[in-house]
Structure 1
């Protein structure tokens, strides 16, 4: 039955992983465009490397982005804004003027004019004022606004009056200020013929005709925007035609701007025709082959070089999820007309992977990802080359994140790399610095800012997938953390022992190859269980007092062993990562509490002993880091009991401890070679000798 379940479990894992990779292939295939891809690669400023190209069908030549942008700007700059004409305002204001004029003129006539001339002058004044006001209102009065300010001098506007649109010169349109000056000048011009005219001028000025001038033209934003958008929509995106059979470019010919636009137009039409043709199924088959091959290469790499990832479904899912996220983001951005592909921080992928794994895996995953994306982006070779260089820079500049500032520096280096590589490629293509698209540099700057999001993403993935980053290890290794402070206060001897073990293990892993920060952090926490019963451990006991003297050997062994089991419970209670808990579980492996085990055997040689009562629960170490910690822990503790520190005693002690652990099978699950074991022995020997070297005895001062 056990064999059946093991077989089922083995095939379940295989089936699940196969499904993961197949689902990845299907999702990427879904994200790929349905149309095919133009088979010729070309760059502006470079020679045509293929055979002479003949147009296979008629197609229109597309305008360049700059041409379309220039035409849009021209439309916007020459656009005539629309204004509504209000007919009622003119009549309302003239009626109000006539009403007020009667009273004002009556007062003026009583003082200055004979009764015979009153009616004549009244008619003259009223007629003249009506002419001025009507002339102003007929031309139109508008409140000065930003719309007029933006309209070019000498241009015109469109006035909609009684549902009829007519064009008017903007110089003929009145504003309140222009109306005021116009009225003043016309009054003076009309009545400055003799000295008696001053009374008439003063009277007309007192009427304040300008107070009756209010805007009757109002900007029609809705109509203006609608007409403006229609003009932009009607803008032709093409210029000229290429006929089927026409020679487009010859082999070796330098691709200038004109040829480049023709080739881009052909590529666009060609890919559209492929997407809607009967060849669609062949295109789909080709995409399946390419995607499947890429994902298969990824699987083979993990199988041959990173089997520990394939063993865990969660770790495998994490790798595939990152690849899918990058492909998905790229496919969405490519379809957008407003966002450039250069804004996507592709370097975030190798940064995140190298944080949890290593640089080699990060570079490989990054390469596979950009190769996949290279199939769907324009100018795939340029894209892959640019992202590959930037990815390497990101990995080398940030192989380990220990401080937040490192990510900021890396972002700056990534932006600089983008700019330099793009500048080099642009010079080759354009042949002129002035033709380089400067907006891309702004996109690269935005890319660098988005790259800073790697920091919170690392934390998010840590929690989601149970990873442990160097940032978290740095935080955990702070001796001011609660558990370490508790150990230092309650079991100072054990705390000092942990510090020494951390130093030994870190040095050994650094030279052997591994994660020094992980083993250091694990070493600091490996004995936290001793803080619960510190007095039962030698390093915390005061000379002459040993509570074990009052206990049986079995009970003493139980208390000693409990520092592992209770340490694990304490770690889980304080939510330490499982990677750190594994150091607590494995630092004694499945060995025995030898002191009490041997003491029992020596005292009761004829008694049968239950060895399980003296054996640590384990498990045995399973990685280089946990194995090195076990060695360092035993060596540091045993070295304190040496009576004489010489090269021979230290060498013999370390050889005996490590050989004993090997004989007991404690490292059977660890990939350690004999060369590694010998290297570790030498590292520990040199380290212990440096710790316990003979000090110089200072001579006493002669009295």
Structure 2
């Protein structure tokens, strides 16, 4: 207890220092810190030691795929694209001038032969005249010279036809000799024509490099990327296996060897974090204004996102380094339970969605784990609330364990054909159970650190064993009895108007603890015939009476009672008047003006419905004790008079209570008070043998007294 009190004192001192700055400044600081932390956690890759591999060296441990993933095999894709490009033949452009040149050369040869044949020269000189300018063999020239003119014309035409036929095709440096060989292989009557045509063939096709590359690039692009699938748990590199450059590239593509910190990655993550936290801020600003305006509540909410992001990052490392099944331990259910208890279901659902997106980032888009986080947190957000007790939380944890197990089983079945579904479901069950335990363990710490009022804390404060209540019952028993009765009234009224019944009861228990400082000055604690106000001026008496609120607030703050409850106690008298001493001052003939403000409480008027209910219950119960002969009619009239008087005095001007609420509150107060102060039957006192009252009658009388 001492350690806890020292811790809470330290927290209060820190909160006091922080209050020296404006609320808007504190909110900006909280937002900036959260943005930095989330960005850093999401952008920095924690590289597990098992993945510190180097190409050409053996792996220190087996490396498994942490999730089922499909990726483009760049090596195979490149090989297939290169093969497709290589299959595309070179593109050539035919030069038609070359064919004309070949034809002209053939005609020129026959013109020379015709002229030489017509000359009266010896055969040797004729042969020499033909061979000098043209690349033809001696046998071919001799044969042509020996022909008559008609035969030579026929051979010429045949040679032109053969050459033209060849030159219609692409004649390249690579196939020129093949084309010549085909012509030279011709025998018979066409042999001389073929030999002439072969002698004059030339390359007529030039390689079109641009068109060739264009077609080959088109062939490359037509090849679809080769998709390779790595199933969750499949070995990427065996232990001791020499790591190849291709395997190292695969690790990089799977995200295992990404740089730990890159400016561009940080920039992208910063933009994502701004959008993520900005969306939450917009939701809170529109639908949860109280949370949005409270730096403390924003810190509480943001700290859960930060802790979850860090836990998700570490779990991802464990899943990558040891076994993918670790991924099913994402603690979204714990965040959901804590947020639903400390805030409400709507806020819990929003934070679960945020945690799911964070899961997607740290796991590089693992659908299975995102589904486990989203659905695993969705369920407890709906079955847990601010009114949940410890027993209800334990039961919710069990239900959550089964739910997360089912989610893990279903998500695994959808995405991983070779996954061990039962193991995944078992780990999911453990996850749900552990999340419940962690949430219940963290709630007391978060409640006290961030001063968030929960039902668990209120139930603890409602125990009669609380030091303040024990002191109140011992030092001011009348006030304690009054507080218990006020608690009954406040709880009944809160139930009627749909307000927080437990908060109303606990606030009533503590609303008058300040009277312990001077209990004898309050009528419920005074002994018969003794009035501590005798001899005091009305002003001083009023000051003593009104100071019990300030004293009570100080006592509650010293005991680290939740701020919500302290605020209700601070407001429960508002600016009401201490009418008895005001009228007493007016009756005294002092010839001085009586300042009404000196006889009023100087505290905020009730804002919350619970504070308004407590004000009315306090006044009604105190007045009910003064009724001489209470009846149903007088009690109802008294209740209406008190509540109408508070309204006329403006005490409920700032309160959330409606006229309809006040009507229901009147009925609830009347019902409780009529039951408590109804007329009793006057039982006759019979005696047993020996003249003494029987034990049965004693018990009956005692019971009647207790019921009164």
TM-score, scaled relative to structure 2 = 0.61
Match of 1:321 in 2: 303
Does the 8 Å contact 1:529/1:567 carry over to 2? yes
Instruction: Name the CA distance, whole Å, in 1 between partners of 2:570 and 2:539.
Output: 21
SS at match of 1:452: helix
Instruction: Name the CA distance, whole Å, in 2 between partners of 1:592 and 1:415.
Output: 56
Instruction: Name the CA distance, whole Å, in 2 between partners of 1:640 and 1:54.
Output: 95
> Displacement, 1:32?
3.2
Match of 1:332 in 2: 314
Instruction: Name the CA distance, whole Å, in 2 between partners of 1:483 and 1:63.
Output: 62
User: Quick one: which of 584, 595, 605 aligns to 1:599?
Assistant: 584
Match of 1:234 in 2: 242
Q: Could you report, residue by residue, the CA deviation over 1:527-557 in whole angstroms, capped at 9, with x for unpaired residues?
A: 1222233232222233333232333222322
Q: Does residue 406 of structure 2 align to residue 427 of structure 1?
A: no
User: Is the alpha carbon distance of 1:478 and 1:237 closer, same or farther for their aligned partners in structure 2, counting shifts above 3 Å?
Assistant: farther
User: Quick one: which of 635, 638, 641 aligns to 1:656?
Assistant: 641
Match of 1:416 in 2: 402
Instruction: Name the CA distance, whole Å, in 2 between partners of 1:55 and 1:659.
Output: 86
Q: Could you report, residue by residue, the CA deviation over 1:650-700 in whole angstroms, capped at 9, with x for unpaired residues?
A: 333222222322333323443333333333333323332333344556578
Q: Does residue 673 of structure 2 align to residue 691 of structure 1?
A: no
Does the 8 Å contact 1:523/1:583 carry over to 2? no
SS at match of 1:480: coil
Match of 2:40 in 1: 30
Instruction: Name the CA distance, whole Å, in 2 between partners of 1:697 and 1:392.
Output: 61
> Displacement, 1:296?
2.3
Instruction: Name the CA distance, whole Å, in 2 between partners of 1:385 and 1:357.
Output: 24
> Displacement, 1:326?
1.2
Q: Does residue 667 of structure 2 align to residue 682 of structure 1?
A: yes
Q: Could you report, residue by residue, the CA deviation over 1:54-105 in whole angstroms, capped at 9, with x for unpaired residues?
A: 986567664752556xx96xxxxxxxxxxxxxxxxxxxxxxxxxxxxxxxxx
Q: Counterparts of 1:636-675 in structure 2 under 5 Å?
A: 636-675=621-660
Does the 8 Å contact 1:564/1:585 carry over to 2? yes
SS at match of 2:275: helix
Q: Counterparts of 1:48-447 in structure 2 under 5 Å?
A: 57=225, 62=230, 65-66=233-234, 232-234=240-242, 290-336=272-318, 337-338=321-322, 340-377=326-363, 380-400=366-386, 404-429=390-415, 435-436=420-421, 438-439=423-424, 441-442=426-427, 444-446=429-431
Q: Could you report, residue by residue, the CA deviation over 1:352-386 in whole angstroms, capped at 9, with x for unpaired residues?
A: 22332222322222223323433443555544443
Match of 1:501 in 2: 486
Instruction: Name the CA distance, whole Å, in 1 between partners of 2:255 and 2:554.
Output: 63
> Displacement, 1:419?
1.1
Question: 5+ unaligned residues in a row in structure 1: which ranges?
Answer: 1-8, 36-41, 45-52, 73-230, 240-264
Q: Could you report, residue by residue, the CA deviation over 1:305-345 in whole angstroms, capped at 9, with x for unpaired residues?
A: 22122222122222122112212321332233236232232
Does the 8 Å contact 2:539/2:598 carry over to 1? yes
Does the 8 Å contact 1:522/1:580 carry over to 2? yes
Instruction: Name the CA distance, whole Å, in 2 between partners of 1:412 and 1:237.
Output: 48
User: Quick one: which of 533, 556, 563 aligns to 2:548?
Assistant: 563
> Displacement, 1:500?
0.8
User: Is the alpha carbon distance of 1:322 and 1:431 closer, same or farther for their aligned partners in structure 2, counting shifts above 3 Å?
Assistant: closer
Does the 8 Å contact 1:63/1:237 carry over to 2? no
Bigger radius of gyration among the two: 2
Match of 1:528 in 2: 513
> Displacement, 1:26?
4.5
Instruction: Name the CA distance, whole Å, in 1 between partners of 2:468 and 2:645.
Output: 32
Residues 311-320 or 667-676, more deviating: 667-676
> Displacement, 1:416?
0.7
How many residues are treated as equivalent by the alignment? 493
> Displacement, 1:233?
4.1
Instruction: Name the CA distance, whole Å, in 2 between partners of 1:314 and 1:669.
Output: 24
> Displacement, 1:637?
0.8
